[in-house]
Every structure is written in structure tokens, then in C-alpha cells.
Chain A
Amino acid sequence: MEKALKKYLPVFTFPTAIAFLIGFIVPFVMAVYLSFCSFTTVNDAKFVGISNYIQAIKDPVFLHSVGFSAIFTVVTVILINVLAFAVALCLTQKIKGTNLFRTVFFMPNLIGGIVLGYVWQLLFNGILAYFNRTLTFSSIYGFWGLVILLCWQQVGYMMILYIAGLQNIPGDMLEAAQVDGATGAQRLFKIIIPSVRPTIVICTFMSLTNGFKLFDQNLALTAGEPSHGTEMVALNIYNTFYGSTAAYRGVGQAKAVIFAVALALVGILQMRLTAGKEE
């Protein structure tokens, strides 16, 4: 058995390894290299050292977008996970139509971000029009608009993961607790939540990275208006790359590398913190 495994190891890992190499390693290495260059087209780059990085961290709009993304991510991670867990709890009770509700709640996740952004823009502006305002009136409007949009889109998806986690809790454990006289709150905090900890780790990680990387919804809903007030990191990188002359492509690239490294660090930190007691 072991021998066969060894023999076929390359056969099974090779395609994935190649895909990983072409789809991730090569672009990532190129991206890091280009962040030290000035370029118009990627295969015609000139090395300029760390000047792109200096310009990137001196850009006040970029720093604002980092702050905006960070606050946005904290708010959405909490809201999405609390709501998704609550909905999942409700839909694992013995009530009628749970399958229908699960499908309905999951569906927004199937719609692309750009479409969602425009649809919600129409909805929000339609309501705000009664007050003679639009989403761009202030960045507070845009912020909560984005929060509502992302929650609506992702709660259903995280709900499915939480449902899977909840269904894995052995029924007899809960029953035993009930027989022993545990209250609903005790069962929730002492049994259910500790049991779904692996799911919580995954869901917070996913909502964390999704929040930071948000792009389509940002572009379609507010496009960063008013005056970069709601511009998130990914959109800022895009605007830097395409909004100016070729000289700024390297700066956009440098921002992207800073962003990727920072996000990886935050992700690792989060995994460490939430998965701490898992073993």
C-alpha cells in the first residue's frame, strides 16, 4: 500500500503542483520583482529599487484606504459570523421549510459582485432619494451600504458552513446535557460553540480575507466616492495602477505586495488566535 502510494504520488500531485506554480508562484514572484521596477508592459521593466515603496507609504489616500478597509473588515467579520451562526442555529431546529430557507439565504452568494453592487446602488439610492440624497453624500453612507451588501451576500454562504458544523455535533451529547439540567445558554456556550470551533476558525478567516480583498462591490456601489472616502485597498491599488502614467504602475504594484504580505500576516495571526485550543 505504502509503496503504491509513493509510486503514484507524483501522478496525483504533479497537475496541482504545476497549476499552483503557474497560477500562483510565478505571478507572485513576478509581482514582487515588478514592484521594484518602472514599467509600461510587464516584459519590458526597468529596475528602480525601493522608490515605489516609498511613494506608496507616503500616499495619504492609500493610508486612508487601509484604515477604511480595516474598520470595514472588523465590522463585517463580526456581523457576518454572528448572523450566519444565528441563522444556522435556527435552520437546524426541527421546523418546517428549513431547506427552502437555506436555499434562499444561500442564493445571494451566487450573484457576481458587480451585479450586486449596481442592484444595491439602485435600492439604496431609491430610498435615499426620498431624503434628496444619494450613497455618495458621505462616506458613512457608503460604509454602511457596503456592510449591508457584503452581509447580505455572505451570511448565506457562512450559514451553510455553520450548518455543516452544527450537524456534526453528536445528538446524544446535547441530550445528555439536557437530562443533566443544562440551560439553553449553557448548552450554547459550553457545548455547541466549542464543538463548532473549527468552523468558526474557517469562517472568520474567510470573512476576514474577503473583507480586506473586497473590490467589485466597492467599485460598483460607490466607486470610492465621495472623494476617495469609501475607496478600499484593492480599489486604491487598481486606481493607482491605471489612473496615472506608466510611472505609477510600479507604485500600484508595490502597494499590492504590501497588501498581500500584510493580509497574510493578519490571516496567520487570526488562525493562531482562534485555533489556539483546537489541538
Chain B
Amino acid sequence: MFQVENQSWLDNWGQYCYDLSGSFIAEHSTANCLSMEGVEVAAVPFANESYGIIYNVDLLNEYCGLENAVISSPEEINNFSVLKAVADDIQARKDELGVEGAFTSAGLDGSSNWRFTTHLANMPIYWELTDKGVTSATSLEGTHVENYKNLIDLYFTDSTCDPALLSGKTGDDSLAEFCDGMAVFYQNGTWAWTEDGDIADMNIAFLPLYTGVEGEENIGVCTGTGNYWCVNKNSSEEDIQATLDFLEWVISSDEGKETMAGKMAFNVPFDTFADVELANPLFTSANEYEAAGKTAVSWIGTESLPTENWKSELASALIEYSQGTADWSAVEKVFTEDFASEWASR
């Protein structure tokens, strides 16, 4: 058994995929399985995840209670301009609210820069592909890179630290600032919530990644799956059968279900989990957007990213932009030129 992240992983690893069609896990899957030429079901997803801007509900409510607050309830934040107005105001009145900044430090150190080079990078690509009516791309015009800049600039200016220091900030720094109530907003995903972490005691919810695109009032948070099970077709028949039996046990037995949905707090996309309650409040928050009729943002952007190299190029460009040694055109180049050349060299 092995794992892939998305369709593009099958370019490298698809040659080892056993056809899972008809297997227990494929039959009971409630999400989209991956397929490829000659293999009907190559990979079966086992965890739905969402990401967006996580906010401290109590702190934001406290802000709403301040005199002359820009909004009177968190629900009023439904696009980038409102988000920016709120964040700018929190930043200006941080002492009054007892925080160090509106956003936690957007750490560009390798430990969590994927929050911006993978997850946030989904947004400009998602909007460009949606405009064009396609779901994947090997080159971009960069029509929405300006929107990416909107939110990045907001993270950099309305933050707990000076942008020039961001390359030394880690994912742990950011999480600690959020849990200590030093900032109201924190970009991350459902995985940030852990049962035994400090975050479990907090009252938290999601905001979608608003970047200033027309019509963004109708979006929810980014929801998809980046974890798929595959079975190695080169294994012996007994091993393949044993693996399939094991996976069936994982999603149907009490112990397996308790481990996946309880201990790991996953949102598991199989119909055998229909009776399981979600432990993680961020899933509840994500679902509320969908219940309110908003469209969940798909991961077509992240799934179109060419290589790990491309992500490090974006991280480098963001670092240089944050410390003022390069301007925004370096980031634009990564989304346009580098995006195409990384795809071309695959």
C-alpha cells in the first residue's frame, strides 16, 4: 500500500497502481477516486480537508464590541475589502484589544511556508482556471496574481512582526501566537486542530480566503482531499488481498473507525462513516458555509502545481519580497514563466 497526493502524482507512481474498482473501499467511497489510462480506480481518498483563515471567535467578537468597530459581527466579513478594513483596524488598535497583530506571523521558514506556496497559491490559479472554465493548466497568464498579492500584503503588514523577519519564523511560532491570543487570524487548515493541542480549548472558525475577486461573497473555504490510498500491483496476490482486507477493516470495524475519525480526527469520505460525529470544529465551520449555499473552493490550483521545485521558487520569491530585496515581479514571474517552464521540464 502507498499514498499519493493528487492526480499529478500518478504520472510518477501510476505505473504501480493496482485497479481498485470493485474493492470494498472503492464501493463505499463518497468522494472522487482517481483514475488513469487503463486503471479505472487507481487511488481512493481517505481524508477530506479544508483550509482558509482560522479565526479566534472570542477575540473577534471582542473586537466587534469595541467602539467604532468596522463590523458588528464576524459574519459581516464576506469579501476582501471588509477583511482588510477589519484587519487594518485591529492592527491600529492592537493595544486596545490586547493583541500583537491582526494576523499571526506568516512564517516563510521551510517549516510552514507551504501555507502560502501551496494552499494560498490555490486561489489565484483557481480563479484563473474558473474564469477560463477549465480544471487544470500547464501555463498561466497570472490574471489573478494581483489578488494573491492583496492577501499576502495584508498578512505582511497586519502582523505580529515586521515582514523583514518572516524568513526566520516557523509554523510553531505562528500556531503559538494564535493559541496565546496574540493574533486574531491564522491561515491554516483543518489539520491545525488536534485533540490534545492548546487549540482544542479555543473557540475557532474558518473564513474563506478572500483575495478581492468579484463574486467572492459566494465562496466557502477550500475543501478537497490530498491523501489517497493506492495498492502496489507488483506485489504478490496474497499481499494485495491482505492489503485490501486491512483497508476494509480500517473503514468498517469499530476500532478502525474510531482511530480514523476519533484519534486522527479526520473527516473520512466513506459511507461507513455516515454515523460518525466530526470531532474537529473546523469541519463544522467549513460545512456551515456549504449549508449556507456557498461554493466550496476546489483544489484545482494546488493540483495544477508543477513540482516541489516550483514551490521552493515561490517561497524564495516571497522571502525576497518580504525583506525588500526583490519586488513583486519576482513572484509574478514564478506564477507565469516558472510555472510554464517547470511543467515543460516534467
* Interfacial residues, chain A to chain B (CB-CB below 8 A): 40, 121, 125, 129, 132-138, 223, 225-228, 239, 242-247
Contact = CB atoms under 8 A, between A and B. Distances in A.
Contacts of B320: 226-227
B316 to A, nearest CB: 4
A228 B165 contact: no
B13 A40 contact: yes
Given A134-B165, A136-B167, A223-B110, A242 B325 contact: no
Given A244-B307, A245-B12, A125 B168 contact: yes
A137 B319 CA distance: 9
Contacts of A132: 162, 164-165
B312 to A, nearest CB: 7
B323 interface: yes
A132 B168 CA distance: 11
Given A223-B110, A227-B320, A228-B316, A134 B308 contact: no
A27 B126 CA distance: 44
Given A129-B168, A245-B11, 12 more contacts: A121-B168, A125-B165, A134-B164, A134-B165, A134-B167, A135-B168, A226-B316, A226-B320, A227-B320, A239-B312, A245-B12, A247-B346
B317 A227 contact: yes
Interface of B: 11-13, 15, 110, 162, 164-168, 307-309, 312-313, 315-317, 319-320, 323, 325-326, 342, 345-346
Interface of B, helix, strand, loop or mixed by DSSP:
helix
A239 B168 contact: no
A133 B168 CA distance: 9
| Most A-side CB within 10 Å, residue of B166, B316, B342 | B316
Contact of B312 (A40, A136, A243, A245): A243
Given A132-B165, A226-B319, A246-B12, A137 B325 contact: yes
Given A225-B167, A243-B307, A244-B346, A133 B323 contact: yes
Given A227-B317, A239-B312, A245-B346, A138 B165 contact: no
Nearest to A41: B16
Contact of B12 (A40, A125, A134, A239): A40
14 contacts: A40-B13, A129-B165, A129-B168, A134-B165, A137-B164, A138-B325, A227-B316, A227-B317, A227-B319, A227-B320, A228-B316, A239-B312, A244-B309, A244-B346
Contacts of B162: 132
A136 B316 CA distance: 9
A125 B313 CA distance: 22
B346 A225 contact: no
Contacts of B346: 244-245, 247
A134 B342 CA distance: 29
Given A226-B316, A228-B316, A245-B12, A137 B308 contact: no
Contact of A244 (B15, B166, B323, B345): B345
Contacts of B308: 242-244
A168 B110 CA distance: 48
B168 A134 contact: yes
Q: Across chains A and B, which 6 residue pairs bring their CB atoms closest together, nearest first?
A: A125-B168, A243-B309, A227-B316, A136-B167, A243-B308, A134-B168
Contacts of B13: 40
A239 B312 CA distance: 10
Contacts of A121: 168
Contact of B319 (A40, A136, A244, A246): A136
A136 B342 CA distance: 24
A129 B276 CA distance: 48
Contacts of B11: 245
A133 B164 contact: yes
A239 B309 contact: yes
Contacts of B164: 132-134, 137
